[in-house]
Amino acid sequence: DAKTTQPPSMDCAEGRAANLPCNHSTISGNEYVYWYRQIHSQGPQYIIHGLKNNETNEMASLIITEDRKSSTLILPHATLRDTAVYYCIGTGRRALTFGSGTRLQVQP
Amino acid sequence: DAGVIQSPRHEVTEMGQEVTLRCKPISGHNSLFWYRQTMMRGLELLIYFNNNVPIDDSGMPEDRFSAKMPNASFSTLKIQPSEPRDSAVYFCASSSGTGGTGANVLTFGAGSRLTVL
């Protein structure tokens, strides 16, 4: 399973784009990158996933570098409700394994 | 759809007592997962089922923990006897698809907060 590395915390101003980085240099060719978030005391929530192409949905955009060693989750217009822990996960043989994630604090 | 339903939402019990946590996955989902979350250890996968069959239980801490999925719409996680170190939030999640990317799109329940005194 690919090991992922994320900064422990980040701040973002409300209304601005939040760019959350993730390093996954050991990811193999068929492993996807998944992003989840966990708002305080709630269960984790799926955001988006991708393999090699950039992806966008109603929640966020996912930019994966051409060498697939890193990716960035973009919340285009962060709101206070986006304050949460964001997890970047590389898939593997086992079910999803969550690391410590990035705690994003959106400031008013 | 009501989502993944877990019960009880909160449980306070004394050391040595049996605890049973329950989960109803989303209808049509064929994979079910149990996770445990603590401040010290984060979110840990305990066990997951596919088509009601346990696939990977390597995360189950010890023999005091057991999980069953008697049918596609119900699963239990049992701790007997419970200990203070079992205090945590236990999440159940479900997904559809086997081997495809959908299998990793998990929908989580609201969690069961367990406190063992």
What confidence tens digit (pLDDT) does each residue in A28-86 have? 888 899 999 999 989 999 999 999 889 999 999 999 999 999 999 999 999 999 999 99
DSSP A67: T
At residue B96, what is the residue type?
S
Please name the member of A34, A43, A46 whose beta carbon is closest to the beta carbon of B91: A43
Instruction: Encode B30-59: b = buried (16+ Cβ within 10 Å), e = exposed.
Output: bbbbbbbbeeeebbebbbbbbebeeebeeb
Cβ neighbours of A95 in B, within 8 Å: 31, 33, 45, 48, 55-56, 104
Strands A9-13 and A102-107: parallel
A108: its two tokens: 């008013």
Cβ neighbours of A88 in B, within 8 Å: none
Interface residue A32 vs chain B (CB under 8 A): yes
Share the mean pLDDT of chain B.
Answer: 93
Give the H/E segment covering residue B78: strand B74-79
* Average pLDDT rounded to a whole number, residues A14-21: 97
Query: What is the Cα–Cα distance from B33 to B41, expressed in whole angstroms?
Result: 18
Q: What is the number of CB-based contacts under 8 A between chain A and chain B?
A: 51
What confidence tens digit (pLDDT) does each residue in B20-76 have? 999 999 999 999 999 999 999 999 999 999 999 999 899 998 899 999 999 999 999
Query: Coil, strand, or helix at residue A106?
Result: strand
Cβ neighbours of B107 in A, within 8 Å: 46
